[in-house]
Amino acid sequence: MGRPIVAIVGRPNVGKSTIFNRIIGDRLAIVEDKPGITRDRIYGIGEWVDQEFSIIDTGGIEIEGEDEIMRSVRMQAELAIEEADVIIFMVDAKAGVTAADEEVAQMLFRSKKPVVLAVNKVDNIQRQDEIYEFYSLGFGDPVGISGSHGIGLGDLLEAAAKHFPENKDEEYGEEVIKVALIGRPNVGKSSLVNAILGEERVIVSDVAGTTRDAIDTPFEKDGQKYVIIDTAGMRKRGKVYETTEKYSVMRAMKAIERADVVLVVINGEEGIIEQDKHIAGYAHDAGKASIFVVNKWDVVEKDDKTMHQFTQKIRDHFLFMTYAPVVFVSAKTHQKLHKLLPVVNQVAEQHAMRVQTHLLNDVVSDAVMMTPPPTDRGKRLRINYATQVSVKPPSFVFFVNDSDLMHFSYERYLENKIRAAFGFEGTPIRLFTRRKS
Ligand code: GDP
Ligand code: GDP
């Protein structure tokens, strides 16, 4: 199931980023401990009663011009309304209700999205009275919180979690491969969709053609059903402000959460830029299968080494995603396009693959025998056994004597051994440790 998306909206200085950092807390360290990716804290992963969610602080999307603050806040609210499942609307107890708060409140109110009103800077009991004036914004009981003192966070998340959508993935059957195309504006996402749908033997479902506001495009080829997620949202992109990194990542989040396979579309003509990494990074963190699709290959001047060199460049930039295959295509000339869906099928299969426990444990014991875990202050990691606990993405639990002894480099080693034995091409895999002596 996709993680619900929570967005924090509010004027500058009400404390959005303070709360954001509190919510993602120590998980941030895990996310940032990944080579080859810069993270400007565009999003984070939070957890409430075993349920993971994605959280975004919409602050910092700035627009130039008159009345800058108002316009920025308005845009943040718009984005949150479109992309989030739940909105945390944050106001400042010290400042009271401002005109900007009222305008945002109206936008949110009209949208009918679930909103939790958080009154920040309620640093002590005395201040609790100050939340009452915020009833006037019309969102029911405000939740008093204090970012700097860590007060009320549990209440806030509990209120937000009440609005998390129920299991969202019943939309399509298990047999349907859900594909999202992501990438910067103008890399050729819409052109690729049209090109795929225009291929021979592709049967586009009537529903998509007749329903004007259908956001997904279902189709079938060679007996395999697919759906391209959020095709409408893709077409709508490309406004100037969407070139900001934060915006483009936020735009892609929902589609990625709903997908099985993410096509990270890169403009072969321009090469890779930082922004590509943020979007791909989200797909990785969301546990989705990914394929790098280098588009516009028709305009690239090439010899027999060009493809290899470009692949190498992708590997250098996306160190954390070496599992993702690279495909070169042209949406314009349809060059190599027929190779794309077979790769989609393949990574979708690997994403859903389950390995038998005894085979897994053979591989793990061989790996441990070949390179035993290093000792840490005289103690050595002992792995009792391992088992695959879930798919999409394939996730493994290692039962060990002491979880603290499982170091990043050894985990990486085990991951490599598992991949060497079973493949898992195109999909991230997750390793967890659990203590068992
Ligand atoms: P943002 O612009 O909405 O992201 O706000 P920030 O998180 O950057 O916070 C703005 C200012 O408010 C900073 O100086 C924070 O230290 C302060 N602040 C944040 N949370 C609280 C709080 O709960 N109580 C008080 N008194 N100050 C806070
Ligand atoms: P999107 O914003 O990612 O959906 O990109 P579009 O599909 O709108 O394409 C942006 C521009 O790139 C358009 O002018 C397309 O005609 C052009 N384009 C798309 N794919 C290709 C391709 O494979 N080769 C060439 N030469 N141009 C392409």
Residue nearest to atom 26 of ligand 2 (CA): 296
Report the C-alpha gap between 424 and 360 in whole angstroms. 13
Q: 82: closest CA among 252, 311, 258, 316?
A: 252
pLDDT of res. 58: 82
CA of 187 to the centre of ligand 2 (A): 6
Phi, psi for 79 (deg, rounded to 5): -65, -45
Helices in 123-215 by DSSP H: which ranges? 153-161, 189-197, 206-210
Three-state DSSP at 434 gives: strand
Known binding residue 150? Answer is: no
Report the C-alpha gap between 61 and 59 in whole angstroms. 6
**CA-CA-CA-CA dihedral for 96, 99, 105, 110, to nearest 10:** 160
CA of 89 to the centre of ligand 2 (A): 37
CA of 322 to the centre of ligand 2 (A): 26
Known binding residue 188? Answer is: yes
CA 344 to chain centre: 19
User: How many alpha carbons fall within 13 Å on the CB side of residue 259?
Assistant: 33
Known binding residue 146? Answer is: no
The residue to mutate among 146, 148, 151, having the most atoms of ligand 1 within 8 angstroms of its beta carbon, is 148
pLDDT of res. 26: 55
pLDDT of res. 80: 85
> Can you give the pTM of this predicted structure?
0.82
**pLDDT tens-place values along the chain, 437 residues long:** 588 999 999 988 899 989 998 988 755 544 444 444 444 557 888 889 888 899 988 876 655 555 677 777 887 888 888 889 999 999 999 999 998 899 899 999 999 899 999 999 999 888 888 899 999 999 999 999 999 999 999 999 999 999 998 765 557 888 999 999 998 888 999 999 999 999 888 888 765 444 444 588 999 999 999 999 977 666 665 554 555 667 777 778 888 999 999 999 999 998 887 777 888 888 998 999 999 999 999 999 999 999 999 999 999 999 889 999 999 999 999 999 999 999 999 999 999 999 999 999 999 999 999 999 988 888 999 999 999 999 999 999 999 999 999 998 999 999 999 999 999 999 999 999 999 76
Taking CA atoms, 373 is separated from 298, 380, 435, in Å, by 48, 7, 16
Phi, psi for 150 (deg, rounded to 5): 65, 35
Q: Using a 6 Å cutoff on CB, does residue 189 contact ligand 2? A: yes
User: What are the strands, taking DSSP E only, across 72-201?
Assistant: 86-92, 115-120, 143-144, 177-182
Q: 122: closest CA among 95, 154, 86?
A: 95
Known binding residue 225? Answer is: no
pLDDT of res. 63: 53
Q: How far apart, in Å, do the first and last CA atoms of the chain sit?
A: 32
Q: Using a 6 Å cutoff on CB, does residue 299 contact ligand 2? A: yes
Report the C-alpha gap between 161 and 103 in whole angstroms. 25
**CA-CA-CA-CA dihedral for 338, 341, 345, 346, to nearest 10:** 50
Residue nearest to atom 20 of ligand 2 (CA): 188
Query: Count of H helices and E strands in the chain?
Result: 14, 18
422 Cβ contact list (under 8 Å, min separation 6): 353, 355, 359, 363
Which ipTM value was assigned to this complex? 0.80
54 Cβ contact list (under 8 Å, min separation 6): 3, 4, 5, 6, 43, 44, 45, 46, 253, 257, 286
pLDDT of res. 243: 56
User: How many alpha carbons fall within 13 Å on the CB side of residue 58?
Assistant: 30
Report the C-alpha gap between 143 and 153 in whole angstroms. 9
CA of 19 to the centre of ligand 1 (A): 8
